[in-house]
């Protein structure tokens, strides 16, 4: 019990000495005046003006004497605590009193400043006992400012974000985000909210129009990450049922859609989604080995209209027109002239896909013939703009990767056009967009290859 009392005494003494450190009235061996004591004033002889040592309160008479017989005794220094004072402890030899106080603080005295002694206040030099109120410096590479809100969206509160961390973006109704902003070396990446559309999807085998791909995983690249996300918990990933799937909020604009299915190549297919036009999307599933030694030209469209894919092969002279009417099945060959083959003429109401493969040259750097292949789409009696046709050219590379290039029907097409010269494939493998469209109003004036100027349809092969 004695040791506890001694610890309390030392604790209170340490704080008292520290508090008196800068008070000129404190001496190393004297007690500090009470905290509310004012400056000393000269002693007055008048009984109406008691001196600083005169206590106006009645004093108890010692040894039984009366109050009138006793004079007020001057206060004396004492090692016992007085009312309004804190006890003091002598500093150790060679150690200033202020350092002794700090040593007591550093020695593990509770932070309540010795509240068990009656609530005396802890030492505070204005720095919260060593904890400064100054703001911490911004970490290197952190983003100090809030990311700028995009149109139709708003970021969470994300100032002072460390490098590499993200800020969540919330988009308005009927909009989806293309990602969250990421802090990269003090700068935020730019993200946006894009309009979303309800979209139905059909997945068909490019080699067999009757094979609608069931139980395939279909996702939007950049919006869904298969390595870390679950398809069932994402709005940007669906499973096909009998070759069909539906997205409730598919992002508009230029996107890439991936079809994943055992036995088929995993190929991101570029698509253009227009909020007010696109309601259905025809996708292609490419069997493994289908592209070996070949370039594939794939036509997809959205409606039940009958379109035809046509390739003008530079075999001899003016070329050979390969299309649905070419010498009937097998519609060409990959091992003999014209070294190109139409997989099938699609008249199905459930899938909208046609494919022509072109054999590659021996070096694998381009098509078989060192000339220009013309790729066209014919609608005959159908306005192509209403069917939203799209062409993919798939080119395998020696690395095993597959390059995919897409060609959309031009926005400035001739009104009601039913013929479209989409692109040319050069002998060196390069692709050149053309975009010429025509309408069969002026019979006999067509500029397009493989077009019968009288019937305005693909010429016989």
Q: State whether 275 and 394 are in the same domain.
A: yes
Which among 145, 166, 191 is the end of a domain? 191
Q: State whether 95 and 230 are in the same domain.
A: no
User: Which pair of structure tokens corresponds to residue 216?
Assistant: 């395939």
Residue 213: inside a domain: yes
Residue 72: inside a domain: no
The separation between CA 274 and the C-alpha centre of its own chain, rounded to angstroms, equals 24
Residue 99 pLDDT = 46
Q: List the pLDDT tens digit at each of the 461 positions of the chain.
A: 444 444 444 544 455 455 445 444 444 444 444 544 444 444 444 444 444 444 444 444 444 444 444 444 444 444 444 444 444 444 444 444 444 444 444 444 444 444 333 333 433 433 333 333 455 677 889 999 999 999 999 999 998 999 999 999 999 999 999 999 999 999 999 999 999 999 999 999 999 888 899 999 999 999 999 999 999 999 999 999 999 999 999 999 999 999 999 999 999 999 999 888 788 999 999 999 999 999 999 999 988 888 999 999 997 665 788 887 665 566 889 999 899 999 887 776 667 899 999 999 998 899 999 999 999 998 877 899 999 999 999 999 888 899 999 999 999 998 899 899 999 999 999 999 999 998 875 555 677 888 765 555 555 44
165: containing domain: 153-191
Q: State whether 106 and 178 are in the same domain.
A: no
User: Which pair of structure tokens corresponds to residue 205?
Assistant: 């085998």
Residue 332: inside a domain: yes
Q: State whether 246 and 125 are in the same domain.
A: no
Q: State whether 165 and 282 are in the same domain.
A: no
Residue 46: inside a domain: no
Q: State whether 355 and 425 are in the same domain.
A: yes
Q: State whether 180 and 322 are in the same domain.
A: no
Q: State whether 253 and 174 are in the same domain.
A: no
Residue 349 pLDDT = 64
Residue 361 pLDDT = 93
Q: State whether 125 and 181 are in the same domain.
A: no
The total domain count for the chain is 3
Q: State whether 102 and 209 are in the same domain.
A: no
Residue 166: inside a domain: yes
Residue 246: inside a domain: yes
User: Which pair of structure tokens corresponds to residue 366?
Assistant: 């381009």
- The CATH number linked to 355 is 2.60.40.1120
Q: State whether 333 and 421 are in the same domain.
A: yes
Q: State whether 185 and 306 are in the same domain.
A: no
Residue 379 pLDDT = 85
Residue 17: inside a domain: yes
Residue 53: inside a domain: no
């Amino acid at each position: 019990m004695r040791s506890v009392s001694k610890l309390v005494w030392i604790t209170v003494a340490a704080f008292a000495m520290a508090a008196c450190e800068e008070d000129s009235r404190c001496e190393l061996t004297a007690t500090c005046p009470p905290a509310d004591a004012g400056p000393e004033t000269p002693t007055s002889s008048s009984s109406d003006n008691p001196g600083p040592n005169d206590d106006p309160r009645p004093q108890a008479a010692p040894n039984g004497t009366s109050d009138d017989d006793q004079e007020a005794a001057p206060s004396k220094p004492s090692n016992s605590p007085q009312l309004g004072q804190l006890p003091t402890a002598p500093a150790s030899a060679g150690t200033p009193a202020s350092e002794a106080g700090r040593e007591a603080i550093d020695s593990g005295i509770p932070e309540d400043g010795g509240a068990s002694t009656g609530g005396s206040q802890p030492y505070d030099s204005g720095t919260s006992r060593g904890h400064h109120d100054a703001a911490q410096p911004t970490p290197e590479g952190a983003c100090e400012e809030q990311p700028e809100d995009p149109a139709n969206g708003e970021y969470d509160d994300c100032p002072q974000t460390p490098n590499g961390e993200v800020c969540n973006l919330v988009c308005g109704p009927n909009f989806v985000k293309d990602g969250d902003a990421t802090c990269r070396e003090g700068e935020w990446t730019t993200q946006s909210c894009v309009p979303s559309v309800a979209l139905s999807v059909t997945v068909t085998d490019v080699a067999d129009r009757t094979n609608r791909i069931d139980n395939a995983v279909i996702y939007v690249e950049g919006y869904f990450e298969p390595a870390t996300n679950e398809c069932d918990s994402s709005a940007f990933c669906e499973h096909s049922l009998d070759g069909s799937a539906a997205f409730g909020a598919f992002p508009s604009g230029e996107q890439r859609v991936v079809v994943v299915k055992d036995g088929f190549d995993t190929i991101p297919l570029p698509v253009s989604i227009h909020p007010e036009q696109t309601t259905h999307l025809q996708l292609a599933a490419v069997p493994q080995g289908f592209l070996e030694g070949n370039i594939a030209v794939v036509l997809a469209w959205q409606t039940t209209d009958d379109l035809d894919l046509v390739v003008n092969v530079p075999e001899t002279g003016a070329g050979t027109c390969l299309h649905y009417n070419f010498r009937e099945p097998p519609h060409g060959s990959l091992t003999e002239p014209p070294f190109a083959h139409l997989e099938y003429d699609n008249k199905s109401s459930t899938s909208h896909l046609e494919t022509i493969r072109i054999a590659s040259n021996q070096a694998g750097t381009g098509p078989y013939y060192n000339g220009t292949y013309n790729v066209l789409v014919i609608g005959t009696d159908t306005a192509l703009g209403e069917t939203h046709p799209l062409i993919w050219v798939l080119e395998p590379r020696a690395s095993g990767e597959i390059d995919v290039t897409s060609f959309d029907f031009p926005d400035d097409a001739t009104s009601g056009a039913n013929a479209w010269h989409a692109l040319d494939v050069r002998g060196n493998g390069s692709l050149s967009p053309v975009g010429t469209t025509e309408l069969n109003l002026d019979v006999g004036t067509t500029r397009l290859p493989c077009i019968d100027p009288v019937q305005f349809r693909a010429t016989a092969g």
